[in-house]
């Protein structure tokens, strides 16, 4: 039994939703509507007023958004209920996931409106922080997508982020920020190459290859940091990339400051997202890469060098992780601390799965997880009686639910995790 041939061939018809899934989703939609009504509407009185501050303190002053809480919540609950009923009776078919996204958005907005009842919440600031927090998660996810689409499971994203964060700090401290950035990307490439060598040449179980990278990167960076960075502080002062306001775009009311007043890394995510989407799904290169991950034997028959494709994808994926690693130091705090990535690489992995191995999905998941992260900091200020730690757990729980196929259906590349051997 070779796994390559035994892998079930899944025929995916565009927009097909099984009757069972249609019903489940309808119930989920109705549950969301009921929750908005039960948790939020019923605990709100008619006089309550929600205030959203709409400018994060940028140059453009957008007037605050003030509205009555109760009617707003009721409208959201009603729309959600109607959508749920329609899903149960007729079904949205191909647009089911879109509707799920919209309803999840409604739920978050309802939650915020409820939390900010008779208080004021800086919505623009919240979203701006969410965008920043999404950066390392999305980059980690994009790195994972590139590797896994070619058939190599990359569980070492965390280690790659950490290693690149370290090398970029030292390099940038010794010369300048741009050198630091390049060194970070090269570090990522090196680790990607190591992952590929282990997984392809030595056919090591890919989970173990990734674990080796994680243990090694954690050990090495902590070792070098304890040995040198604490003694020679000048090696740990890389500085930070400045904020670049994009002329014109950053002047858009509300959205401008949230999306277009950041440093290089946020724009890097946008650019990578576009480039990867086009490259993976609209070029010959991408088709070949994906075929190596879905059905390497077929790809080989058609003259694609499977292992070379995988090497390339893994190294490129490592480079993206390296770029993401530099964010922690050069794009965020401007210094290296031991184990500073704190599991972001693993949330990136979760974002990849949540986004169903699609770049746009990864960004969406990254933003959602980033929002959860950013909101966790606001809960105590808003006096919402949910422990912030529970909100921080949300990304992991949501990923497990998605993975179990209860809400959505994920489809990982069919041949990921199995080494390819020519017969």
Contact positions toward other proteins, by CB under 8 A? 1-4, 6-8, 155, 198, 201-205, 207-209, 211-212, 214-216, 218-220, 222-224, 226-228, 343, 346-347, 349-350, 353, 387, 389-390, 392-393, 396-397, 399-400, 403-406, 414, 417-419, 421
Minimum CB separation of residue 337 from other proteins in Å reads 14
Minimum CB separation of residue 245 from other proteins in Å reads 35
Q: Are strands 244-245 and 261-262 parallel, antiparallel or unpaired?
A: antiparallel
Q: Which is nearer to other proteins, 52 or 198 (CB)?
A: 198
With vertex at residue 190, the alpha carbon angle to CA 417 and CA 171, rounded to the nearest 5 degrees, is 145
Minimum CB separation of residue 265 from other proteins in Å reads 23
Q: Which is nearer to other proteins, 69 or 225 (CB)?
A: 225
Minimum CB separation of residue 329 from other proteins in Å reads 19
Minimum CB separation of residue 190 from other proteins in Å reads 15
Minimum CB separation of residue 89 from other proteins in Å reads 27
Minimum CB separation of residue 274 from other proteins in Å reads 27
DSSP states along 334-377:
SS--TTTTTTHHHHHHHHHHHTTT-HHHHHHHHHHHHHHHHHHT
Q: Which is nearer to other proteins, 6 or 11 (CB)?
A: 6
Q: Which is nearer to other proteins, 186 or 224 (CB)?
A: 224
Q: Which is nearer to other proteins, 133 or 262 (CB)?
A: 133
Structure tokens at 300: 């080989």
Q: Which is nearer to other proteins, 27 or 61 (CB)?
A: 27
Report residue 247: phi and psi, to 5°.
-60, 140
Minimum CB separation of residue 115 from other proteins in Å reads 19
Cα 175 to Cα 260: distance, rounded to the nearest angstrom = 28
DSSP states along 314-338:
HHHHHHHHHHHHHHHIIIIISS--T
Query: In 3-state terms, what secondary structure has residue 411?
Result: coil
Q: Which is nearer to other proteins, 257 or 348 (CB)?
A: 348
Residue 25 burial by Cβ neighbours in a 10 Å radius (0-12, 13-18, 19+): buried
Q: Which residue bears the tokens 């010959």?
A: 284
Minimum CB separation of residue 330 from other proteins in Å reads 23
Where does 226-263 have alpha helices with state H?
255-259
Q: Which is nearer to other proteins, 252 or 379 (CB)?
A: 379
Q: Contacts from 63-72 at CB under 8 Å and sequence distance 24+?
A: 64/120, 65/123, 67/113, 69/44, 69/113, 69/114, 69/117, 69/118, 70/41, 70/44, 70/45, 70/46, 72/113
Neighbours of 92 (CB within 10 A): 19
Minimum CB separation of residue 207 from other proteins in Å reads 6
Q: Which is nearer to other proteins, 205 or 283 (CB)?
A: 205
Q: Which is nearer to other proteins, 4 or 69 (CB)?
A: 4
DSSP single-letter state for residue 203: -
CA dihedral 312, 315, 316, 321 (to 10 degrees): 160
Cα 320 to Cα 269: distance, rounded to the nearest angstrom = 10
Asked if 187 and 168 count as a contact pair (C-beta separation under 8 A), the reply is yes
């Amino acid at each position: 039994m070779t796994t390559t041939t035994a892998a079930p061939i899944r025929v995916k018809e565009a927009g097909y939703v099984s009757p069972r899934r249609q019903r489940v989703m309808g119930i989920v939609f109705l549950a969301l509507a009921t929750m908005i009504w039960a948790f939020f509407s019923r605990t709100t009185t008619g006089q309550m007023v929600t205030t959203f501050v709409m400018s994060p303190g940028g140059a453009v002053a957008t007037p605050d958004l003030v509205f009555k809480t109760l009617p707003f919540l009721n409208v959201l609950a009603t729309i959600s209920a109607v959508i749920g009923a329609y899903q149960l009776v007729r079904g949205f078919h191909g647009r089911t996931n879109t509707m799920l996204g919209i309803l999840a958005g409604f739920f978050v907005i309802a939650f915020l409106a409820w939390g900010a009842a008779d208080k004021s919440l800086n919505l623009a600031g919240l979203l701006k922080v969410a965008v920043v927090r999404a950066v390392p998660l999305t980059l980690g996810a994009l790195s994972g997508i590139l590797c896994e689409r070619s058939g190599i499971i990359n569980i070492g994203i965390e280690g790659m982020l950490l290693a690149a964060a370290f090398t970029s700090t030292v390099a940038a401290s010794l010369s300048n920020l741009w050198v630091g950035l390049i060194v970070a990307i090269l570090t990522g490439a090196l680790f990607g190459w190591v992952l590929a060598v282990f997984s392809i040449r030595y056919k090591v179980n890919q989970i173990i290859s990734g674990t080796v990278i994680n243990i090694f990167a954690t050990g090495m960076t902590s070792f070098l940091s304890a040995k040198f960075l604490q003694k020679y502080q000048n090696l740990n002062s890389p500085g930070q990339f400045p904020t670049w306001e994009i002329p014109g775009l950053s002047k858009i009311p509300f959205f401008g400051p949230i999306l277009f007043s950041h440093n290089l890394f946020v724009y890097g995510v946008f650019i990578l997202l576009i480039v990867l989407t086009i490259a993976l799904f609209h070029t010959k290169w991408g088709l070949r890469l994906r075929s190596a991950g879905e059905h390497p034997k077929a790809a080989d028959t058609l003259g694609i060098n499977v292992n070379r494709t995988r090497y390339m994808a893994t190294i490129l994926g490592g480079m993206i992780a390296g770029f993401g690693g530099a964010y922690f130091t050069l794009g965020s705090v401007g210094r290296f601390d031991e184990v500073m990535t704190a599991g972001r690489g693993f949330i990136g992995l979760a974002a990849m799965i949540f986004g169903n191995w699609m770049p746009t999905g990864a960004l969406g998941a990254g933003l959602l997880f980033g929002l959860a992260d950013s909101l966790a900091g606001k809960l105590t200020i808003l006096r919402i009686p949910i422990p912030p730690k529970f909100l921080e757990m949300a990304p992991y729980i949501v990923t497990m639910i998605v993975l179990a196929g209860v809400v959505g259906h994920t489809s990982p590349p069919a041949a990921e995790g199995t080494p390819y051997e020519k017969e």
